[in-house]
Amino acid sequence: MKFWKKKKMMGTNEKVPFENKNEHLYNLPTDINQYLHELNKEFGNSADIVIRRFELGSDKQISAALVYTDGLANNKEISDFFKVLLKDFPQKNITVSINKYIQDHLLIFGDVKEVHSKTEVYNEILRGSVAIIIAEESTTLIVGTKGWESRAIAEPENEMTIRGPREGFNENIRTNTALVRRKIPSTKLRYEQKYIGTLTETAVGIMYIKGIVNPKIVEEVKRRLNRIEIDSILESGYIEELIQDSTFSLFPTVYNTERPDKVASELLQGKVAIFVDGTPFVLIVPVSIAMYFQAGDDYYLRFPIGSFLRILRIATFFIATTLPSFYVAVTTYHRELIPTTLLVRLAAQREGIPFPAIIEAFLMEITFEILREAGLRMPKSIGQAVSIVGALVLGTAAVDAGIVSAAMVIIVAMTAISNFTTPGYDMAIASRIIRFILLVLAGTLGLFGMLFGLILFVIHLSSLRSFGIPYLAGIAPMNLSDQKDIFVRVPWFWMKRRPYLFSQKDQVREESTSPHPPKKNE
């Protein structure tokens, strides 16, 4: 709780509202001709906006209109409810308002609501709903008929697991929330939504589990989202950058994932998920550095295997960050550290190399980074070329030409492979940049320079916070109970508590005991 004191002074105690302004205006014209004229003007006669006028009632005395966006609204659904509307509309006078009557007696299924303001009508039409405008009515009926083409639920390609659910988020926010809701069908799972972006009006929702999450974190997330005033949100990266704690840091302070099971597991640990329409990447806050090394496999595989894999991943992260600089420092300044036979070998290899080790390392590292980026951007059909060039350039040719030593190729290859083991892509990419900084320091000051650089990064990591939670939570400040899920993953029946700093409200996760065969007296 202590980490929230600073925020408290800014006045946290009142509840932060999380909804759009001007939703309660009453400014719809009652004259249908004027109404449609205004609509036409507003949409500028766009070809994909369909406006159909029709008459209601058997003697056709009520003038009405139907407005929707072609392609966003589902035609089948529109014709279905239209049939109902025209067939069952009563002959006699209706005592209540027509809109109310339709809502209560005719369209009693589906998502039907009355709205009062122009902006709301426009927004709903542009999001795929159908607006029914009836003459002399002060409100407009909105029927949810959203149904546009979207990608099927597929396994996320960037976050692979051996064992675990094969479903991933897609670009539809409703599908995404449903995927998580299906995993946690609890009344405590809360979802709030608003629209951000003056032009894009992108749906942004936050999800959390009431009772587990620290309410102050939820308030803070809402406050930061409310502060956003931007014209467009095209991807959750926009939101991430507008709400994160430290912009000028290599390390990510907002987590993103495509996996519903990951989101569910983080929600259960007292975190808040932020869904953004139009992207499969869901944000999770607050984060700690440990999250970036936790893969789903750790929890689905048996615990010794999960723990081993996680230790391996952490070790390879260090290899990916420090191996080239360590090699450069040792071969340039501290040759006594190398066993003699190996040293002789290295010296023989380096004999004809024209560059010092640091230049050599830079050449190879930059070559690899270029290859990697090229492989990513290149059309799949010519992807083969990259691997051939990579193998030849990185492998034999450079060594044969005497530009780099074979040992350096091994080091770079090792680094490259190690870099792919980190499950969090954001963290992996940070390590790539840190590697270059350390390389410069190691080339100029040897191991002392490396130590200096590493200490600076440790200080930096220690000073980072994500939504009030220290970035190194569990490691520093040290918490013994949290150690069960940082470097290793202990069996579930030992992890009785949720992570200390994240879920201070409801700490106890489970009370199961270790499994055992039935005892004699049972």
Partner 1 sequence: MKEKISSIQLAFLVINFTIGSALIFLPSSIVNHSKQDGWISAILSSLIGAVFAFIIVSLIKRFPNKNFMEILEFLLGKWFGRLIGLFYSWFFIHLAALVLRNGVEFVKINFMPNTPMAVFSLAFGIIILYTSLSGIEVISRVNDIILPISLIGIWLTIILMLPIIEPDKISPILANGIKPILRGTYPALGFPFAELVIFTMIIPFVNKQKNITKIFVGSQLFAGITLFFIVLITIMVLNIYPTEISLFAPFNVARLISIGDFLSRLEILISMSFIISIGTKLTISFYAGTLAIAQVFQLMDYRSIIIPLVIITVSFSFLLEEDIAEVISFASTTWTPYSFLIGVLIPLLLLGISFIKNDKS
DSSP string, 100-112: HHIIIII--SSSE
Q: Total residues contacting partner 1 (rule CB under 8 A)?
A: 29
Tell me if 339 contacts partner 1 by CB under 8 A: yes
Token representation of residue 266: 């983080």
Token representation of residue 502: 């994240």
Tell me if 392 contacts partner 1 by CB under 8 A: no
C-alpha–C-alpha distance, residues 278 and 284, integer Å: 17
C-alpha–C-alpha distance, residues 40 and 46, integer Å: 8
Tell me if 315 contacts partner 1 by CB under 8 A: no
C-alpha–C-alpha distance, residues 295 and 159, integer Å: 8
426: closest CA among 332, 518, 302, 291?
291
Token representation of residue 34: 């004027």
Report, in Å, the least distance between residue 333 CB and partner 1.
7
474-513 residues in contact with partner 1 (CB under 8 A) are 475-478
Instruction: Report the residue number, 178 or 456, with the smaller CB distance to partner 1.
Output: 456
Instruction: Report the residue number, 323 or 416, with the smaller CB distance to partner 1.
Output: 323
Q: Are 117 and 20 in contact (CB under 8 A)?
A: no
Q: Which stretch binds partner 1 (CB under 8 A): 204-212, 345-353, 387-395, 471-479?
A: 471-479
Tell me if 448 contacts partner 1 by CB under 8 A: yes
347-367 in b/e form (b: 16+ CB < 10 A) is eeebeebeeebbebbbbbbeb
Tell me if 440 contacts partner 1 by CB under 8 A: no
| Segment holding 295, helix H or strand E | none
Contact residue for partner 1 among 447, 487, 506, 509 (CB under 8 A): 447
Q: Which residues contact 267 (CB under 8 A, 6 or more apart)?
A: 180, 184, 189, 207, 208, 209, 212, 213, 273
Report, in Å, the least distance between residue 474 CB and partner 1.
10
Contact residue for partner 1 among 43, 101, 452, 500 (CB under 8 A): 452
Instruction: Report the residue number, 208 or 333, with the smaller CB distance to partner 1.
Output: 333
Contact residue for partner 1 among 149, 157, 231, 336 (CB under 8 A): 336
Token representation of residue 63: 């003038």
Instruction: Report the residue number, 337 or 366, with the smaller CB distance to partner 1.
Output: 337
Report, in Å, the least distance between residue 401 CB and partner 1.
32
Binding mask 126-165 for partner 1 (x = CB under 8 A): ----------------------------------------
Contact residue for partner 1 among 70, 88, 458, 494 (CB under 8 A): 458
C-alpha–C-alpha distance, residues 118 and 28, integer Å: 6
Instruction: Report the residue number, 228 or 447, with the smaller CB distance to partner 1.
Output: 447
| Count of beta carbons in the 10 Å neighbourhood of residue 323 | 20
In the chain, the amino acid numbered 510 is E
Report, in Å, the least distance between residue 346 CB and partner 1.
15
C-alpha–C-alpha distance, residues 247 and 342, integer Å: 44
Bridge-partner residues for 132, per DSSP?
66, 141
Contact residue for partner 1 among 228, 445, 488, 490 (CB under 8 A): 445
CA 5 to chain centroid? 28
Instruction: Report the residue number, 51 or 454, with the smaller CB distance to partner 1.
Output: 454
How far is the first Cα of the chain from the last one, in angstroms, to the nearest whole number?
A: 44
C-alpha–C-alpha distance, residues 379 and 520, integer Å: 65
Tell me if 83 contacts partner 1 by CB under 8 A: no
Contact residue for partner 1 among 463, 493, 494, 512 (CB under 8 A): 463
Residue 215: cis peptide before it, omega within 30 degrees of 0: no
2, 10, 220, 242, 491 from 6: Cα distances, Å: 9, 7, 12, 20, 37
Binding mask 5-44 for partner 1 (x = CB under 8 A): xx--x-----------------------------------
Report, in Å, the least distance between residue 495 CB and partner 1.
21
Tell me if 166 contacts partner 1 by CB under 8 A: no
Q: Which stretch binds partner 1 (CB under 8 A): 159-167, 250-258, 389-397, 439-447?
A: 439-447
Tell me if 348 contacts partner 1 by CB under 8 A: no
Query: Which stretches of 114-196 are DSSP H helices?
Result: 118-126, 173-183
Instruction: Report the residue number, 193 or 504, with the smaller CB distance to partner 1.
Output: 504
Tell me if 242 contacts partner 1 by CB under 8 A: no
Contact residues for partner 1, defined by CB under 8 A: 2, 5-6, 9, 333-334, 336-337, 339, 445-449, 451-452, 455-456, 458-460, 462-463, 470, 472, 475-478
